[in-house]
């Protein structure tokens, strides 16, 4: 099964999750997702997702000048973001549980 299809539905959750521990800029978030095992995630998708979560008021951003090059925009989870993460996390778990059950019957 093509995991990129699955990814579309849960990328929000994944991005929120990697930002829970520590603030990060776009490329940073992308690296953490890949390091976490989601190596099929597209660069542009991550930036788009960050943009959407920010526009939805779930993230705040601040700019950190970099001595090496262009300044970086860091994103951090705010209170609504944390709430969304908790809520989406619950939804995912119950969904995964349901699917596990179904698979258990099939297998």
Report the interhelical angle of 43-55 vs 26-35 (nearest 10°). 120
Query: Taking CB under 8 A as the rule, which mask of x and - marks residues 19-48 in contact with other proteins?
Result: -------xx--x-----------xxxxxxx
Among 39, 69, 105, 107, binds other proteins (CB under 8 A): 69
Write down the least CB distance from residue 49 to other proteins, Å: 5
Q: Give whichever of 37 and 69 is closer to other proteins, judged by the CB atom.
A: 69
82 belongs to the binding site for other proteins (CB under 8 A):
no
Residue 38 makes CB contacts below 8 A (sequence gap 6+) with 7, 14
Among 10, 13, 20, 51, binds other proteins (CB under 8 A): 51
Residue 32 makes CB contacts below 8 A (sequence gap 6+) with 18, 24
> Would you call 75 exposed, middle or buried from its count of C-beta atoms within 10 A (0-12, 13-18, 19+)?
buried
Instruction: Return residues touching other proteins (CB under 8 A).
Output: 11, 26-27, 30, 42-52, 55, 66, 68-73
């Amino acid at each position: 099964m093509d995991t990129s299809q699955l990814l579309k539905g849960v990328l929000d959750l994944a991005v929120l999750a990697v930002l829970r521990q520590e603030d990060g800029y776009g490329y940073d978030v992308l690296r953490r997702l890949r390091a976490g095992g989601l190596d099929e995630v597209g660069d542009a998708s991550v930036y788009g997702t960050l943009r959407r979560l920010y526009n939805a008021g779930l993230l705040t951003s601040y700019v950190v000048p970099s001595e090496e090059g262009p300044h970086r925009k860091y994103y951090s989870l705010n209170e609504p973001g944390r709430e969304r993460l908790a809520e989406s996390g619950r939804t995912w778990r119950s969904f995964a549980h349901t699917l596990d059950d179904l698979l258990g019957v099939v297998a």
